[in-house]
Amino acid sequence: MNTRNAVTTGFICAVLSLFLTACGGSGADSAPEASSSSSASSQSESSESSSSASESSSSSSDEAISGELFEVSDFGDNPSDLDMHLYVPESLQNNAPVLLAVHYCTGTGPEFYQNTSYNTLADSHGFIVIYPTATRSSKCFDVASSEALTRDGGSDPVGLRSMIGYVESHYNVDAGRIFVTGVSSGAMMTNVMLALYPDVFKAGAFFAGVPYTCFATTGDSEWNSECANGNVSKTAEEWGDLVRNAYPDFGGERPRVQLWHGTADDVLHYNNFDEAIKQWTDVHGLSQTPDYTDEPSEGATRTRYGDSGSAAPVEAISLEGVGHNLPVDENEVIRFFGLDGGS
């Protein structure tokens, strides 16, 4: 299992700032919960040197540059002013898969590109990677507003869907092999996208997230303390109904889901892992009792639901004693998606 750190301590600063502001203090604008992805690191607060290095590695042109990160400035409906960067490998498959890779709070798409290995895996396996950036002051994705939690309702999910539509219209891609993954804020957005657009995604993988709608708030708040602290509990059917009601006309096969969480997470409580398992097993019509359990590495317990093999509809990995700064194993994500030539 990849042991590189994923989630940044920058989140703590964001939360403190949020609380200072709420109490009338002068904390800088910031929003809940940040995380980063593997590769070397949890640089989600990203030092300026990391940020400038990341920016220098990307082109600002809409013209595709194979093997380099480049920005797409006009990709369609974008109500929340997201930025889009794209990585197209030189060895692009015919009828290529697409991966939407969603960053943590305080991060950017180029930083997520730099701090994860999805681009090098794309080089090996020939898929396209989309790296969105949330541009609001918190650099968190909107997983709380009613607009964001409604199919085609506005905010970030609409922009993310437009990015996928752009890739579908400009490249020879397989619409049946579109995937999404994210860390922390990006993990929560992964859940949102899977719930709102089951007709788009074949599978998703999220690291340190919460169930769909758990983070819902009223007004302009981006933070839901009850959810973050693990105090929101529902039956499996109640959680499942929330997903089904997000797109009630959908009658197709639901996306497969891979979940990761550390038992010592003090930012998004570990209870959210169990609640998310309840949600997605119910969505798939499965029991919450695993069909298979193993320990793929020290401190990691993997459970599979609906199948004992690698093609299980729901796969969950619990990391003993690990906090919000959990390691992100991109190779396991790609394996679960079947992008490595497997299932």
Q: What is the structure's pLDDT at 219? A: 85
Among the listed residues 170, 202, 199, the one whose alpha carbon sits nearest the alpha carbon of residue 75: 170
Q: What is the structure's pLDDT at 325? A: 87
Residue 247 CB coordination number (10 Å): 17
Confidence of residue 56 (pLDDT cuts 50, 70, 90): very low
Q: What is the structure's pLDDT at 44? A: 37
- Residues 105, 83: Cα–Cα separation, whole Å: 15
Residue pair 149/243 in contact by the 8 Å Cβ criterion: no
- Residues 284, 268: Cα–Cα separation, whole Å: 24
- Residues 323, 14: Cα–Cα separation, whole Å: 17
| Percent of the chain clearing pLDDT 70 (strictly above) | 81
Assess whether pLDDT exceeds 80 at residue 88. Answer: yes
Per-residue pLDDT reduced to its tens digit, 295-322? 999 999 999 999 999 999 999 999 999 9
Confidence of residue 4 (pLDDT cuts 50, 70, 90): very low
Assess whether pLDDT exceeds 60 at residue 53. Answer: no
Q: Which residues are registered as beta bridge partners of 294?
A: 302
Q: What is the structure's pLDDT at 15? A: 43
- Report, as an integer, the average pLDDT of 143-165: 98
Reading the block at residue 266, the tokens are 């003090």
Catalytic: which of 37, 184, 185, 318?
A: 184
- Residues 332, 114: Cα–Cα separation, whole Å: 19
- Report, as an integer, the average pLDDT of 268-277: 98
- Residues 111, 68: Cα–Cα separation, whole Å: 14
- Residues 4, 322: Cα–Cα separation, whole Å: 12
- Name the DSSP letter for residue 226: H
Residue type, 102: V
Per-residue pLDDT reduced to its tens digit, 19-40? 333 333 333 333 333 333 353 3
Q: What is the structure's pLDDT at 10? A: 45
- Residues 222, 305: Cα–Cα separation, whole Å: 32
Residue pair 181/205 in contact by the 8 Å Cβ criterion: yes
Per-residue pLDDT reduced to its tens digit, 128-140? 999 999 999 999 9
Assess whether pLDDT exceeds 50 at residue 13. Answer: no
Q: Could you confirm whether 91 is annotated as catalytic?
A: no
Q: What is the structure's pLDDT at 253? A: 98
Q: What is the structure's pLDDT at 58? A: 52
3-class secondary-structure state, position 20: helix
Per-residue pLDDT reduced to its tens digit, 192-250? 999 999 999 999 999 999 999 999 999 889 999 999 999 999 999 999 999 999 999 99
Whole-model pTM above 0.95? no
H helical segments located in the chain = 10-22, 48-56, 109-115, 118-125, 155-170, 185-196, 225-228, 236-246, 271-283, 330-337
- Tell me, rounded to whole angstroms, the distance of Cα 109 from its chain centroid: 12
Q: What is the structure's pLDDT at 281? A: 98
Q: What is the structure's pLDDT at 64? A: 67
Among the listed residues 321, 200, 342, 343, the one whose alpha carbon sits nearest the alpha carbon of residue 264: 321
